[in-house]
Amino acid sequence: MKSTKKNHRSRKAMISTLLLGLAISSMLLGEEANAQTPSSASGSSLTSEQQDPFLSTLGASSDEDVYEDLYEGRSLAQTARRHNKNPQAVIDLQVAQMTEMLNERFQQGLLSPDTYRAQKEELTDLITKSVYGQTSYSQ
């Protein structure tokens, strides 16, 4: 019974990471799209990396593919490896995106200095564990 609960929690953590990554990517893409003006109809197509850096770094073709992998119990690291991508690149991207969000929230006065430092200190560890689908380092 404990194993089932642990697997369920692990799956929920991985799905939460996916949703976080997708939300960050969508938010950043939205800001970039709003900042750009179209120069011409023929030259306005974006590469897949510009469209969604999370999917590109992971090597996945769609959000649904990633969700399906996570639902089937694969970690983001396993998904990246399956697409011949480096899991560390996924970690680096998510850490950079989350750091940017933390910085913005701190600058807007939404986080106290202590909360900001505490969240920033644990960010890399938290994301690394999440990408590997772990609650502790066992790989």
Specify the pLDDT at position 52.
Answer: 87
pTM, entire model: 0.66
* Sequence-separated (6 or more) residues with CB below 8 Å from residue 71: 11, 15
Annotate 102-126 with DSSP letters as a single string: HHHHHHTT-S-HHHHHHHHHHHHHH
Sign of the CA dihedral with 81 first, then 52, 9, and 101 last: positive
- Reported as a single tens digit per residue, the pLDDT across 29-49 is 554 444 444 444 444 444 444
